[in-house]
Amino acid sequence: MKITGSEAVIKCLLEENVDLIYGYPGGAIMPIYDALYHYQKEVKHVLVRHEQGATHAAQGYARSSGKPGVVFATSGPGATNLITGIADAQIDSTPMVCITGQVASHLLGSDAFQETDIVGISTPITKWNYQITKAEEIPTVLAKAFFIAKSGRPGPVLVDITKDAQFELIDFKYQACTKVRSYKPEPSSSLKELDAAVDLINKAKKPLIVFGQGVILGEAEEEFKNFIEKTGIPAAWTILGLSALPTAHPLNVGMVGMHGNYGPNVLTNECDLLIAMGMRFDDRVTGDLNRYAKQAKIIHFEIDPAEVNKNVPVDVAVLGNIKKTLPQITEKVNKNNHENWLKEFRKRDEIEYQTVIEKDLHPTKDEMTMGEVIHAINEETKGDAIIVTDVGQHQMVACRYAKFNQSKSNITSGGLGTMGFALPAALGAKMGAPEREVVAIIGDGGYQMTIQELGTIFQTGAAVKIVVLNNNFLGMVRQWQQLFFDKRYASTELVNPDFVTIAKGYYIDGEKVDKRSGLKNAVKKMIQSKKPCFLEVCVEKEDNVFPMIPTGESVSNIRLS
Catalytically active residues, by annotation: 51, 113-114, 163, 476
> Which one-letter DSSP state was computed for residue 110?
T
Q: Count of CB atoms within 10 A of residue 371's CB?
A: 23
Length, in residues, of the chain:
561
The bridge status of strand 169-171 relative to strand 2-4 is: antiparallel
Q: Which element (helix H / strand E) includes 210? A: strand 207-211
Coil, strand or helix at 242 = coil
3 state SS for 382-426: CCCCEEEECCCHHHHHHHHHCCCCCCCCEEECCCCCCCCCHHHHH
The letter for the amino acid at 13 is: L
Give Dmax (Cα) for the chain.
74
Coil, strand or helix at 171 = strand
The bridge status of strand 533-538 relative to strand 20-24 is: unpaired
Distance CA 458, CA 557 (A): 46
CB neighbour class for 119 (10 Å; exposed up to 12, middle 13-18, buried from 19): middle
The letter for the amino acid at 417 is: G
Coil, strand or helix at 18 = coil
Phi-psi group of 459: left, alpha or beta (phi > 0 → left; psi -120 to 50 → alpha; rest → beta): alpha
415 φ/ψ angles, rounded to the nearest 5 degrees: -70, -35
Distance CA 105, CA 103 (A): 6
241 φ/ψ angles, rounded to the nearest 5 degrees: -85, -15
CA distances to 19, 33, 324 from 166, rounded to whole Å, are 21, 10, 41
Q: Which element (helix H / strand E) includes 99? A: strand 96-102
Q: Count of CB atoms within 10 A of residue 149's CB?
A: 27
- Whether 256 contacts 236, CB under 8 Å: yes
Q: Of the candidates 160, 194, 135, which has an alpha carbon nearest to the alpha carbon of residue 29? A: 160
Distance CA 423, CA 87 (A): 18
Sorted by sequence, the CB contacts under 8 Å of residue 63 that are 6+ apart come out as 94, 408, 411, 425, 428, 429, 432
Distance CA 422, CA 407 (A): 18
